[in-house]
Chain A
Amino acid sequence: MVVILQGNAVDLWLDVKENLKIFGYFHGLKGKNLVNQIDKVINIFELEQYLNTKAGDLSGGYRRRLQVAKAFLVQSPILILDEPTEGMDPIIKQQCLKLIKMEAQSGRTILLTTQRLDEAEEICNSIIIIKNGSTLIQGPINEIKKVIGESFQVKLCFDQVTAEIEAEIRKMKMIEEVNINYKESYLEFIINKKVYNPLEIINQFTQNHCVTKFEVKEPSLETVFMKIIQRKEENK
């Protein structure tokens, strides 16, 4: 089992190569195998130019890269990652998520702890939502999404979200989880797809207001999470 904790737990006085080498020694790697594995992760995480730079002299993002690179140095059956993409730039972050996905597909069990639900949704098969140390819900993502019913998440973009639009949306009883963003001029809501047709609502708005864009999709994990938390609070 390999565990990579949150933060930048690296040997600050040692260079990138030595950090990887020592991690390898601790996990029983040696000789040619260790050298090959180091070359592989250095290439994946684009650390070539910092090979001889002390970890203490790296930026926060690169330290995190080094920290996560260690996880892919050792081929253990179980890998535990705590907030792996924290502080990474978008390109490396995508590469890292892709790598995690590939490792999982190759048969490794990966336990990922994250606050980023979009990431969890992108790469996880099953999730456990924990609040204040107790499990709120667990299971495959598709099953968890069904907890809030068969629903659609609708996003409507306007030139400007006016008080009139807000009043109109608040009046609609079949709509849940209304989220209004005045700055970016859009509103989002959830609608039960078995009972209501989202296109009817969109049609209603396009007749009276200037709708610049609309989206209808399955609710995101984040929306589901908020709903679960809200229900939990209401049941207290």
Chain B
Amino acid sequence: MNDIFANLYREYKTRVTSSRIITENIVNPLVILFIFGVALGEAVGDIKIGQVRVPYLSFFLSGAINISIITNAMVASTRLFLDKYVGLFDEILTYPIKRESILIGKLLFNSILSLVQGIIMLTFTYLMKPGYFSKPEQIILFFLALIIISWGWFFILMFLALKVKTQDEFNSMYYLVMTPLMFISSVYYPLEKTPFIIKAISSINPLTWATDISRFFLLGLPDRHLTSKIILYLFFVIISYILARRSLNVKAIRASSAKSP
């Protein structure tokens, strides 16, 4: 337990080092929500899915929270990459702690941060669009879903940070993988009326699964493939965890063998 606390404390201290970082974590998601949700929402109007009609801001909220979740995981992954870069990660591997506590400590901080951001963004949406409220049980399920969703992104990005060797590779990962992932998904728009190619790509995008699952829990929007999306996302979480865990162990073995004469 002390291992996990030490990792959680370090993650908290390194991530919340100044008021600027706190502002970034809270203000930035609200700005995205305001620009896309409120400004674009006024131009687009309501979104109709099946027989349900919802304001665009409420529709976009789940997408915006999912973007924040990915951004949080991305920041955690950048920090891990920098730890590797300065040699601190190799030193941490020599500490008398369990390997998984490194992941669990970071994961706990990430989940708490995502939850806090979600609550603030939900409150902001209700303030901007009073009158469109979800039921309390929907909100509870929505936040539970968000926590599990955050695990998938966290583990996969930890895996990539452990795998990537250079700063260039790390930057490429962000621009070539993360950016298309965000735009070819159901985050910003409903996929029903999009061209086949977009529909096909986004149907295999975990961000689409995550956004649609959280949207269902929050707004009750009908989704014929909800069960398969939940199963696929859980599968994504498990695979990501296995990959991250395995890479951490491989890194630990390499670090210890590199140190021995």
Contact = CB atoms under 8 A, between A and B. Distances in A.
Interface stretch (A20-28, A38-46, A91-99, A169-177): A20-28
A128 interface: yes
Interface in A1-45: 1, 3-14, 18, 22, 25-28
Q: Which 6 A-B pairs have the closest CB atoms?
A: A3-B94, A25-B6, A9-B87, A9-B88, A26-B95, A9-B91
B172 interface: no
A25 B5 contact: yes
Nearest to B17: A13
A130 B9 contact: no
Interface string B81-116: 010001110111011110000000000000000000
A25 B3 CA distance: 8
Chain A: interface size category: 20 to 34
Given A18-B13, A22-B6, A28 B96 contact: yes
Interface of A: 1, 3-14, 18, 22, 25-28, 54, 80, 128, 130, 133, 135
Interface string B156-193: 00000000000000000000000000000000000000
A135 B260 CA distance: 12
Interface residues of B, number: 22
B96 A1 contact: yes
A22 B10 contact: yes
Contacts of A14: 13-14, 17
Given A5-B91, A12-B82, A22-B10, 16 more contacts: A3-B94, A4-B91, A5-B87, A5-B259, A6-B87, A9-B86, A10-B88, A11-B13, A11-B88, A25-B2, A26-B92, A26-B95, A26-B97, A54-B17, A80-B94, A128-B261
A3 B91 contact: yes
